[in-house]
Amino acid sequence: MVVNARGPFSPVRSGALVGVVLAGGEGRRMGEGVKKPLRLLGGKPMVAHVVERLRPQVMDLVVVANDPDPAFDQLKVPVIADPPDIQRAAQREGRRLGPLAGILAGMEWSLKHHPHAGWILTAPADVPFLPLDLTVRLCGHMHVPEPDVLVVRHGRHREPSLGVWSVKLVDDLRRAILEEGVRRVGQFAERHVAAELAWPGDPAPFTNVNTPEELSAAEARLARARPRSRR
């Protein structure tokens, strides 16, 4: 099922929707040193751009980051790690378990702190130019019967980690990760009622920043967008 969105407008908050920023990736393509979500972009961590653009659009927001770092404190939002059983499974495998682990952490946090919120909106920490009307477009197309998962697609590219998830999937997601070894977001989404929001026009708002070159390009983009001072 594919639905369509139209052009952008000012930020609009969607009720009963909790935002979850996934900042637990290893970011190997960015190279050694500072963790990718904390790389400076326009003088502040890249994850801060995601938080600032998403925070006005949701009722509450949490960041999932497995490597505690004091730099996350400046975000002024809760920062959590993957659930303990997921962390133990990751230690046994000797690797991170991917975005699904962060989605599970976000669902559990939402259920604990906002038990009446039925949905979370996930976004990776490396998309600093998210649309300011993302949530209202997504929620505005949650038709009846509602899908369990609604993700963004622009052109031929699907953003599996950027979408709305029903928190009723929490138990099945835990089983999928711990008992079935599911690691791909798309693989889990496809076992439920899933839909796509086809975003028209320029895909630039969904640009991922994964490499030093892409970070430099994002820096240049921010510089072009800044208003020039008058002499």
Confidence tier at 34 by pLDDT (50, 70, 90):
confident
What was the pLDDT predicted at 3? 40
49-63 pLDDT, tens digit per residue, is: 999 999 999 999 999
For residue 140, is pLDDT > 90? no
CATH number of the domain located at residue range(s) 2-222 in this protein: 3.90.550.10
CA distance 204 to 188: 27
Sequence letter at residue 35: K
What was the pLDDT predicted at 33? 64
More confidently predicted of 57 and 31 = 57
Q: Which of 42, 38, 30 is nearest to 221 (CA)?
A: 42
CA distance 50 to 56: 11
pTM of the entire predicted model: 0.88
DSSP state of 183: -
Task: Check whether the bond before 145 is cis (ω within 30° of 0).
Answer: yes
116-125 pLDDT, tens digit per residue, is: 999 999 999 9
Residues present in the chain in total: 231
Q: What is the mean pLDDT of the chain?
A: 86
Q: What is the DSSP string of 3-50?
A: EE-----S----TTEEEEEE-----GGG-SSS-GGGSEETTEEHHHHH
Sequence letter at residue 25: G
What was the pLDDT predicted at 53? 94
Domain positions in the chain are: 2-222
